[in-house]
Structure 1
Amino acid sequence: MPQKRVLHLLNGQALYNFYKTTHFLDGECMIPFNEAMCYGETCSNIFSHNFIQIRANVHHVTTEQYSEITLKPLQRLFRKNFSHLTLWFDEDMFCQINILTILAWLDQNDYKGAIDLHIIGEKFERKESFSLKVEGYAEMYNQVLVNKTLPKHIFPNPLKRGIELYLNYLDKDSDLMRFITKYQDVSEEELVTKLIVEFQHYGLGDVQYLEMIRSSREG
Protein backbone atom coordinates (compact mmCIF):
# COMPACT_ATOMS: atom_id res chain seq x y z
CA MET A 1 0.00 0.00 0.00
CA PRO A 2 1.54 3.37 -1.01
CA GLN A 3 2.53 5.66 1.85
CA LYS A 4 0.33 8.69 2.42
CA ARG A 5 2.24 11.86 1.50
CA VAL A 6 1.28 14.58 3.99
CA LEU A 7 1.98 18.27 3.46
CA HIS A 8 1.64 20.62 6.45
CA LEU A 9 0.75 24.22 5.54
CA LEU A 10 1.39 26.69 8.37
CA ASN A 11 -0.11 30.13 8.97
CA GLY A 12 3.14 32.03 8.41
CA GLN A 13 6.89 32.22 8.86
CA ALA A 14 6.71 32.73 12.63
CA LEU A 15 4.83 29.47 13.18
CA TYR A 16 7.11 27.67 10.73
CA ASN A 17 10.18 28.88 12.65
CA PHE A 18 8.60 27.91 16.00
CA TYR A 19 7.75 24.39 14.82
CA LYS A 20 11.27 23.99 13.42
CA THR A 21 12.87 25.19 16.67
CA THR A 22 10.70 22.98 18.88
CA HIS A 23 10.97 19.98 16.50
CA PHE A 24 7.20 19.75 16.32
CA LEU A 25 6.23 17.71 13.24
CA ASP A 26 9.90 16.69 13.10
CA GLY A 27 10.69 15.02 9.80
CA GLU A 28 7.39 16.12 8.29
CA CYS A 29 7.10 18.37 5.23
CA MET A 30 6.12 21.90 6.39
CA ILE A 31 5.65 25.10 4.38
CA PRO A 32 4.45 28.59 5.46
CA PHE A 33 1.80 30.75 3.79
CA ASN A 34 3.24 34.26 4.02
CA GLU A 35 0.29 36.46 3.08
CA ALA A 36 -2.32 38.80 4.57
CA MET A 37 -5.29 38.16 2.31
CA CYS A 38 -7.66 40.00 4.66
CA TYR A 39 -6.00 43.27 3.64
CA GLY A 40 -6.10 44.87 0.22
CA GLU A 41 -7.56 43.91 -3.14
CA THR A 42 -7.38 40.58 -4.93
CA CYS A 43 -8.82 38.81 -7.99
CA SER A 44 -10.61 35.55 -8.75
CA ASN A 45 -7.73 33.61 -10.31
CA ILE A 46 -5.56 32.86 -7.27
CA PHE A 47 -1.75 32.95 -7.78
CA SER A 48 -2.21 34.04 -11.41
CA HIS A 49 -0.04 36.78 -12.96
CA ASN A 50 -2.78 39.33 -12.29
CA PHE A 51 -3.13 38.13 -8.69
CA ILE A 52 0.62 38.48 -8.12
CA GLN A 53 0.63 42.04 -9.49
CA ILE A 54 -2.35 43.08 -7.35
CA ARG A 55 -0.98 41.55 -4.17
CA ALA A 56 2.54 42.93 -4.74
CA ASN A 57 1.01 46.41 -5.02
CA VAL A 58 -0.93 45.85 -1.78
CA HIS A 59 2.29 44.97 0.04
CA HIS A 60 4.35 47.72 -1.68
CA VAL A 61 6.85 45.23 -3.09
CA THR A 62 7.90 44.18 -6.59
CA THR A 63 6.40 41.07 -8.17
CA GLU A 64 9.82 39.45 -7.80
CA GLN A 65 9.88 40.19 -4.08
CA TYR A 66 6.34 38.89 -3.70
CA SER A 67 7.26 35.69 -5.49
CA GLU A 68 10.30 35.22 -3.24
CA ILE A 69 8.39 35.85 0.02
CA THR A 70 5.02 34.25 -0.71
CA LEU A 71 5.21 31.92 -3.71
CA LYS A 72 8.62 30.32 -3.34
CA PRO A 73 7.74 28.62 0.00
CA LEU A 74 4.55 27.24 -1.62
CA GLN A 75 6.27 25.28 -4.40
CA ARG A 76 5.51 21.92 -2.77
CA LEU A 77 1.84 22.91 -2.68
CA PHE A 78 1.90 23.93 -6.35
CA ARG A 79 3.52 20.63 -7.38
CA LYS A 80 0.55 18.80 -5.78
CA ASN A 81 2.82 15.90 -4.88
CA PHE A 82 0.86 14.97 -1.77
CA SER A 83 -2.27 13.04 -0.93
CA HIS A 84 -3.14 14.65 2.41
CA LEU A 85 -2.99 18.33 3.37
CA THR A 86 -2.94 19.52 6.98
CA LEU A 87 -3.53 23.21 7.77
CA TRP A 88 -2.30 24.79 11.02
CA PHE A 89 -3.88 28.23 11.50
CA ASP A 90 -5.03 30.58 14.27
CA GLU A 91 -8.74 31.34 14.69
CA ASP A 92 -8.35 35.10 14.07
CA MET A 93 -9.69 36.88 11.00
CA PHE A 94 -6.25 37.23 9.41
CA CYS A 95 -5.67 33.47 9.39
CA GLN A 96 -9.21 32.51 8.44
CA ILE A 97 -9.14 34.59 5.26
CA ASN A 98 -5.79 33.01 4.39
CA ILE A 99 -7.39 29.58 4.90
CA LEU A 100 -10.25 30.53 2.57
CA THR A 101 -7.74 31.56 -0.10
CA ILE A 102 -5.85 28.26 0.09
CA LEU A 103 -9.06 26.19 0.03
CA ALA A 104 -10.32 28.21 -2.94
CA TRP A 105 -7.06 27.64 -4.86
CA LEU A 106 -7.32 23.91 -4.18
CA ASP A 107 -10.93 24.00 -5.40
CA GLN A 108 -9.89 25.87 -8.55
CA ASN A 109 -7.31 23.13 -9.16
CA ASP A 110 -9.77 20.30 -8.55
CA TYR A 111 -7.92 18.88 -5.53
CA LYS A 112 -9.62 15.67 -4.35
CA GLY A 113 -7.38 14.64 -1.45
CA ALA A 114 -8.03 14.77 2.28
CA ILE A 115 -7.68 18.01 4.26
CA ASP A 116 -7.40 18.42 8.00
CA LEU A 117 -7.67 21.90 9.52
CA HIS A 118 -6.18 22.39 12.99
CA ILE A 119 -7.09 25.63 14.77
CA ILE A 120 -4.28 26.56 17.15
CA GLY A 121 -4.17 28.82 20.21
CA GLU A 122 -1.81 31.54 21.44
CA LYS A 123 0.81 28.98 22.49
CA PHE A 124 0.42 27.12 19.19
CA GLU A 125 -1.51 24.32 20.89
CA ARG A 126 -4.22 22.54 18.93
CA LYS A 127 -7.73 23.73 19.96
CA GLU A 128 -10.10 22.41 17.30
CA SER A 129 -9.84 20.14 14.27
CA PHE A 130 -12.00 19.79 11.17
CA SER A 131 -12.02 17.51 8.13
CA LEU A 132 -12.72 19.42 4.92
CA LYS A 133 -13.47 18.94 1.24
CA VAL A 134 -12.62 21.85 -1.07
CA GLU A 135 -15.77 21.88 -3.24
CA GLY A 136 -17.49 25.25 -2.99
CA TYR A 137 -14.64 27.26 -1.52
CA ALA A 138 -13.69 28.91 -4.82
CA GLU A 139 -17.22 30.29 -5.08
CA MET A 140 -17.09 31.35 -1.42
CA TYR A 141 -13.75 33.13 -2.00
CA ASN A 142 -15.28 35.12 -4.88
CA GLN A 143 -18.33 36.02 -2.82
CA VAL A 144 -16.23 37.20 0.13
CA LEU A 145 -12.95 38.63 -1.18
CA VAL A 146 -13.96 39.81 -4.65
CA ASN A 147 -17.65 40.75 -4.24
CA LYS A 148 -17.59 41.46 -0.47
CA THR A 149 -20.81 39.56 0.21
CA LEU A 150 -21.65 37.12 3.00
CA PRO A 151 -22.30 33.53 1.87
CA LYS A 152 -25.37 31.77 3.26
CA HIS A 153 -23.53 28.66 4.41
CA ILE A 154 -20.00 28.74 5.82
CA PHE A 155 -18.11 25.80 7.33
CA PRO A 156 -16.32 25.53 9.70
CA ASN A 157 -17.40 28.01 12.40
CA PRO A 158 -14.00 29.72 12.85
CA LEU A 159 -14.09 30.56 9.12
CA LYS A 160 -17.62 31.91 9.48
CA ARG A 161 -16.53 34.22 12.30
CA GLY A 162 -13.47 35.32 10.35
CA ILE A 163 -15.51 36.17 7.25
CA GLU A 164 -18.05 38.15 9.28
CA LEU A 165 -15.23 40.20 10.82
CA TYR A 166 -13.53 40.66 7.45
CA LEU A 167 -16.61 42.04 5.72
CA ASN A 168 -17.11 44.75 8.36
CA TYR A 169 -13.77 45.68 9.91
CA LEU A 170 -12.98 48.56 7.53
CA ASP A 171 -16.43 50.16 7.87
CA LYS A 172 -16.22 53.51 9.61
CA ASP A 173 -18.59 52.33 12.35
CA SER A 174 -16.75 49.04 13.07
CA ASP A 175 -15.30 48.64 16.57
CA LEU A 176 -11.82 48.81 15.06
CA MET A 177 -12.33 52.03 13.10
CA ARG A 178 -14.17 53.69 16.01
CA PHE A 179 -11.18 52.87 18.22
CA ILE A 180 -8.79 54.47 15.71
CA THR A 181 -10.99 57.57 15.52
CA LYS A 182 -11.23 57.77 19.31
CA TYR A 183 -7.44 57.98 19.64
CA GLN A 184 -6.76 60.56 16.93
CA ASP A 185 -4.30 62.41 19.16
CA VAL A 186 -2.24 59.35 20.09
CA SER A 187 1.01 58.75 18.19
CA GLU A 188 0.94 56.16 15.41
CA GLU A 189 3.38 53.90 17.24
CA GLU A 190 1.41 53.93 20.49
CA LEU A 191 -1.91 53.41 18.73
CA VAL A 192 -0.56 50.44 16.77
CA THR A 193 0.46 48.80 20.06
CA LYS A 194 -3.00 49.48 21.54
CA LEU A 195 -4.70 47.97 18.49
CA ILE A 196 -2.59 44.79 18.50
CA VAL A 197 -3.40 44.23 22.18
CA GLU A 198 -7.09 45.22 22.01
CA PHE A 199 -8.09 43.48 18.78
CA GLN A 200 -6.31 40.15 18.81
CA HIS A 201 -9.33 38.46 17.20
CA TYR A 202 -8.52 40.35 13.99
CA GLY A 203 -4.90 39.14 13.90
CA LEU A 204 -3.70 42.19 11.98
CA GLY A 205 -0.10 43.37 12.26
CA ASP A 206 1.66 46.70 12.58
CA VAL A 207 1.91 47.23 8.80
CA GLN A 208 -1.84 46.93 8.26
CA TYR A 209 -2.67 49.03 11.32
CA LEU A 210 -0.29 51.81 10.27
CA GLU A 211 -1.97 52.04 6.87
CA MET A 212 -5.42 52.09 8.46
CA ILE A 213 -4.42 54.83 10.92
CA ARG A 214 -2.87 57.00 8.22
CA SER A 215 -5.83 56.47 5.88
CA SER A 216 -8.25 57.43 8.68
CA ARG A 217 -6.32 60.57 9.62
CA GLU A 218 -5.85 61.69 6.02
CA GLY A 219 -9.54 61.17 5.31
Structure 2
Amino acid sequence: MVIQDKALHILNGEAMYHYYQETGFLNQERMVPFNEAMCYGGTCEDLFSQEFIDMRAEVHHVTADQYREHVLKPLQPFFDKEFSHLELWFDADMFCQINLVTILAWLDQADYKEAIDIHIVGEKFKPLSLYTVKAEGYYSIYKQVLIDQTMPEAILPASIKKGIEFYLSYLNKDSDLMLYIKEHEDVPEKELVIALINKFTDYGLGDTQYFEIVRNQRQPK
Protein backbone atom coordinates (compact mmCIF):
# COMPACT_ATOMS: atom_id res chain seq x y z
CA MET A 1 0.00 0.00 0.00
CA VAL A 2 1.36 3.43 -0.97
CA ILE A 3 -0.14 6.69 0.22
CA GLN A 4 -0.03 9.00 -2.76
CA ASP A 5 1.78 12.35 -2.48
CA LYS A 6 2.81 11.61 1.09
CA ALA A 7 6.45 11.81 2.09
CA LEU A 8 7.91 9.87 4.98
CA HIS A 9 10.86 11.36 6.82
CA ILE A 10 13.15 8.94 8.69
CA LEU A 11 15.23 10.65 11.35
CA ASN A 12 18.29 9.29 13.09
CA GLY A 13 16.89 8.75 16.55
CA GLU A 14 14.52 10.29 19.04
CA ALA A 15 16.70 13.32 19.87
CA MET A 16 16.31 14.62 16.32
CA TYR A 17 12.66 13.55 16.25
CA HIS A 18 11.78 15.49 19.41
CA TYR A 19 13.83 18.53 18.33
CA TYR A 20 12.03 18.72 14.99
CA GLN A 21 8.69 18.34 16.76
CA GLU A 22 9.48 21.08 19.27
CA THR A 23 10.79 23.53 16.66
CA GLY A 24 8.06 22.87 14.09
CA PHE A 25 10.59 21.81 11.47
CA LEU A 26 8.95 19.53 8.87
CA ASN A 27 5.66 20.81 10.27
CA GLN A 28 2.71 18.62 9.24
CA GLU A 29 5.08 16.09 7.68
CA ARG A 30 5.17 12.46 8.76
CA MET A 31 8.35 11.73 10.73
CA VAL A 32 9.61 8.48 12.30
CA PRO A 33 12.85 7.88 14.27
CA PHE A 34 15.32 5.07 13.68
CA ASN A 35 16.30 4.19 17.25
CA GLU A 36 19.37 2.08 16.62
CA ALA A 37 23.15 2.09 16.94
CA MET A 38 24.13 -0.24 14.13
CA CYS A 39 27.81 0.74 14.40
CA TYR A 40 28.01 -1.20 17.67
CA GLY A 41 27.49 -4.94 18.14
CA GLY A 42 26.71 -7.79 15.80
CA THR A 43 24.09 -8.09 13.09
CA CYS A 44 23.00 -10.52 10.36
CA GLU A 45 22.16 -10.57 6.66
CA ASP A 46 18.36 -10.77 7.00
CA LEU A 47 17.50 -7.23 8.05
CA PHE A 48 14.79 -6.82 10.71
CA SER A 49 14.16 -10.59 10.76
CA GLN A 50 13.70 -12.56 13.98
CA GLU A 51 17.40 -13.44 13.93
CA PHE A 52 18.22 -9.74 13.52
CA ILE A 53 15.86 -8.78 16.36
CA ASP A 54 17.37 -11.37 18.71
CA MET A 55 20.93 -10.29 17.90
CA ARG A 56 20.28 -6.58 18.27
CA ALA A 57 18.21 -7.03 21.43
CA GLU A 58 21.17 -8.83 22.99
CA VAL A 59 23.49 -5.99 21.97
CA HIS A 60 21.20 -3.48 23.67
CA HIS A 61 20.56 -5.71 26.72
CA VAL A 62 16.79 -5.70 26.18
CA THR A 63 14.21 -8.37 25.36
CA ALA A 64 13.09 -9.03 21.79
CA ASP A 65 9.69 -7.53 22.64
CA GLN A 66 11.31 -4.40 24.04
CA TYR A 67 13.40 -4.09 20.89
CA ARG A 68 10.31 -4.41 18.69
CA GLU A 69 8.50 -1.75 20.71
CA HIS A 70 11.38 0.74 20.74
CA VAL A 71 12.98 0.21 17.32
CA LEU A 72 10.55 -1.51 14.95
CA LYS A 73 7.15 -0.12 15.97
CA PRO A 74 8.00 3.51 15.08
CA LEU A 75 9.22 2.30 11.66
CA GLN A 76 5.98 0.50 10.72
CA PRO A 77 4.98 3.08 8.06
CA PHE A 78 8.42 2.51 6.53
CA PHE A 79 8.10 -1.28 6.50
CA ASP A 80 4.56 -1.02 5.09
CA LYS A 81 5.77 1.43 2.42
CA GLU A 82 3.04 3.89 3.37
CA PHE A 83 4.63 6.74 1.46
CA SER A 84 5.10 8.07 -2.04
CA HIS A 85 8.48 9.63 -1.34
CA LEU A 86 11.21 8.96 1.22
CA GLU A 87 13.53 11.48 2.87
CA LEU A 88 16.30 10.45 5.28
CA TRP A 89 17.81 12.85 7.84
CA PHE A 90 21.14 11.80 9.35
CA ASP A 91 24.19 13.43 10.94
CA ALA A 92 27.56 13.03 9.18
CA ASP A 93 29.15 11.04 12.03
CA MET A 94 29.90 7.30 11.97
CA PHE A 95 26.97 6.36 14.23
CA CYS A 96 24.42 7.97 11.92
CA GLN A 97 26.02 6.93 8.65
CA ILE A 98 26.03 3.23 9.56
CA ASN A 99 22.37 3.58 10.52
CA LEU A 100 21.80 5.21 7.13
CA VAL A 101 23.49 2.29 5.34
CA THR A 102 21.16 -0.09 7.19
CA ILE A 103 18.02 1.79 6.09
CA LEU A 104 19.22 1.94 2.47
CA ALA A 105 20.13 -1.76 2.58
CA TRP A 106 16.62 -2.72 3.68
CA LEU A 107 15.16 -0.65 0.84
CA ASP A 108 17.49 -2.39 -1.60
CA GLN A 109 16.56 -5.79 -0.16
CA ALA A 110 12.89 -4.83 -0.54
CA ASP A 111 13.55 -3.87 -4.19
CA TYR A 112 12.58 -0.23 -3.68
CA LYS A 113 13.27 1.54 -6.99
CA GLU A 114 12.34 5.17 -6.33
CA ALA A 115 14.72 8.07 -5.74
CA ILE A 116 15.54 8.78 -2.08
CA ASP A 117 16.58 12.14 -0.66
CA ILE A 118 19.36 12.07 1.96
CA HIS A 119 19.76 15.16 4.12
CA ILE A 120 23.05 15.43 6.01
CA VAL A 121 22.55 17.58 9.11
CA GLY A 122 24.92 19.38 11.45
CA GLU A 123 24.67 21.22 14.75
CA LYS A 124 21.12 21.37 16.12
CA PHE A 125 20.15 19.07 13.23
CA LYS A 126 20.38 21.91 10.72
CA PRO A 127 20.44 20.62 7.11
CA LEU A 128 23.88 20.99 5.52
CA SER A 129 23.68 19.06 2.26
CA LEU A 130 21.29 17.03 0.14
CA TYR A 131 21.93 13.93 -1.95
CA THR A 132 19.49 11.98 -4.09
CA VAL A 133 20.25 8.27 -4.47
CA LYS A 134 18.71 4.97 -5.45
CA ALA A 135 18.84 2.07 -2.97
CA GLU A 136 20.36 -0.37 -5.46
CA GLY A 137 23.73 -1.66 -4.29
CA TYR A 138 23.40 -0.70 -0.63
CA TYR A 139 22.46 -4.19 0.55
CA SER A 140 25.76 -5.43 -0.87
CA ILE A 141 27.54 -2.57 0.92
CA TYR A 142 25.76 -3.47 4.17
CA LYS A 143 26.88 -7.10 3.92
CA GLN A 144 30.47 -6.19 3.03
CA VAL A 145 30.76 -3.68 5.85
CA LEU A 146 28.64 -4.95 8.75
CA ILE A 147 28.88 -8.69 8.11
CA ASP A 148 32.26 -9.21 6.41
CA GLN A 149 33.95 -6.13 7.93
CA THR A 150 35.53 -5.19 4.59
CA MET A 151 35.73 -1.89 2.68
CA PRO A 152 33.64 -1.72 -0.50
CA GLU A 153 35.29 -0.34 -3.64
CA ALA A 154 32.79 2.37 -4.53
CA ILE A 155 30.62 4.23 -2.02
CA LEU A 156 28.50 7.34 -2.39
CA PRO A 157 27.81 9.82 -0.91
CA ALA A 158 31.15 10.79 0.66
CA SER A 159 29.66 10.95 4.18
CA ILE A 160 28.83 7.24 4.03
CA LYS A 161 32.32 6.37 2.83
CA LYS A 162 33.88 8.33 5.70
CA GLY A 163 31.50 6.75 8.22
CA ILE A 164 32.40 3.27 7.00
CA GLU A 165 36.13 4.01 7.24
CA PHE A 166 35.65 5.04 10.88
CA TYR A 167 33.43 2.02 11.57
CA LEU A 168 35.93 -0.51 10.26
CA SER A 169 38.76 0.87 12.38
CA TYR A 170 37.43 2.47 15.57
CA LEU A 171 37.59 -0.70 17.71
CA ASN A 172 41.05 -1.71 16.47
CA LYS A 173 43.58 -1.72 19.31
CA ASP A 174 45.67 0.93 17.55
CA SER A 175 42.80 3.33 16.74
CA ASP A 176 42.88 6.84 18.20
CA LEU A 177 39.91 5.94 20.39
CA MET A 178 41.36 2.75 21.86
CA LEU A 179 44.77 4.29 22.40
CA TYR A 180 43.16 7.22 24.22
CA ILE A 181 41.26 4.84 26.50
CA LYS A 182 44.45 2.91 27.23
CA GLU A 183 46.41 6.12 27.92
CA HIS A 184 43.75 7.25 30.41
CA GLU A 185 43.25 4.00 32.31
CA ASP A 186 43.47 5.82 35.65
CA VAL A 187 40.67 8.26 34.81
CA PRO A 188 37.33 7.42 36.49
CA GLU A 189 34.93 5.70 34.11
CA LYS A 190 32.24 8.40 34.02
CA GLU A 191 34.79 11.18 33.56
CA LEU A 192 36.47 9.28 30.73
CA VAL A 193 33.18 8.66 28.93
CA ILE A 194 32.36 12.38 28.99
CA ALA A 195 35.82 13.11 27.58
CA LEU A 196 35.35 10.53 24.81
CA ILE A 197 31.98 11.98 23.77
CA ASN A 198 33.50 15.47 23.54
CA LYS A 199 36.75 14.44 21.85
CA PHE A 200 35.64 11.85 19.30
CA THR A 201 32.69 13.65 17.73
CA ASP A 202 33.28 12.02 14.32
CA TYR A 203 32.21 8.70 15.83
CA GLY A 204 28.91 10.01 17.22
CA LEU A 205 28.79 7.31 19.89
CA GLY A 206 26.75 7.86 23.04
CA ASP A 207 27.46 7.16 26.67
CA THR A 208 25.90 3.68 26.49
CA GLN A 209 28.39 2.51 23.86
CA TYR A 210 31.35 4.24 25.50
CA PHE A 211 30.65 2.78 28.94
CA GLU A 212 30.61 -0.69 27.40
CA ILE A 213 33.78 -0.12 25.37
CA VAL A 214 35.65 1.25 28.40
CA ARG A 215 34.49 -1.61 30.64
CA ASN A 216 35.52 -4.18 28.05
CA GLN A 217 38.97 -2.62 27.79
CA ARG A 218 39.44 -2.45 31.54
CA GLN A 219 38.51 -6.06 32.21
CA PRO A 220 41.45 -8.13 33.50
CA LYS A 221 43.04 -9.91 30.56
Instruction: Give distance in 1, aligned partners of 2:136 and 2:113.
Output: 9
Instruction: Give distance in 1, aligned partners of 2:114 and 2:28.
Output: 21
Question: Structure 1 residue 147 and structure 2 residue 126: aligned?
Answer: no
**1:57-105 CA distance string (max 9 Å, x none):** 0000000000011001000001102121000100000000000000000
Match of 1:92 in 2: 93
Match runs of 1:177-188 below 5 Å? 177-188=178-189
Structure 1: unaligned runs, 5 residues or longer:
none
**1:156-208 CA distance string (max 9 Å, x none):** 00000000000000000000000000100000000000000000110000010
Q: What secondary structure is seen at the aligned counterpart in 1 of 2:162? A: helix
Deviation at 1:123, TM superposition (A): 1.8
Match of 2:18 in 1: 17
Moved over 4 A (4+): none
Instruction: Give distance in 1, aligned partners of 2:65 and 2:170.
Output: 30
**1:104-129 CA distance string (max 9 Å, x none):** 00000001122000000012111111
Match of 1:198 in 2: 199
Q: How many aligned residue pairs are there?
A: 218
Instruction: Give distance in 1, aligned partners of 2:4 and 2:143.
Output: 35
Instruction: Give distance in 2, aligned partners of 1:153 and 1:183.
Output: 37
> What's the TM-score, normalizing by structure 2?
0.97
Instruction: Give distance in 1, aligned partners of 2:158 and 2:119.
Output: 13
Match of 2:49 in 1: 48
Percent identity between the two aligned chains: 58
**1:132-168 CA distance string (max 9 Å, x none):** 1000000000000000000000000000000000000
Instruction: Give distance in 2, aligned partners of 1:45 and 1:113.
Output: 22
Structure 2: unaligned runs, 5 residues or longer:
none
Maintained 8 Å contact 2:115/2:132 = yes
Match of 2:73 in 1: 72
Instruction: Give distance in 1, aligned partners of 2:58 and 2:22.
Output: 33
Q: CA RMSD in A?
A: 0.9
> What's the TM-score, normalizing by structure 1?
0.98
Maintained 8 Å contact 1:89/1:96 = yes
Maintained 8 Å contact 1:83/1:114 = no
Match of 1:124 in 2: 125
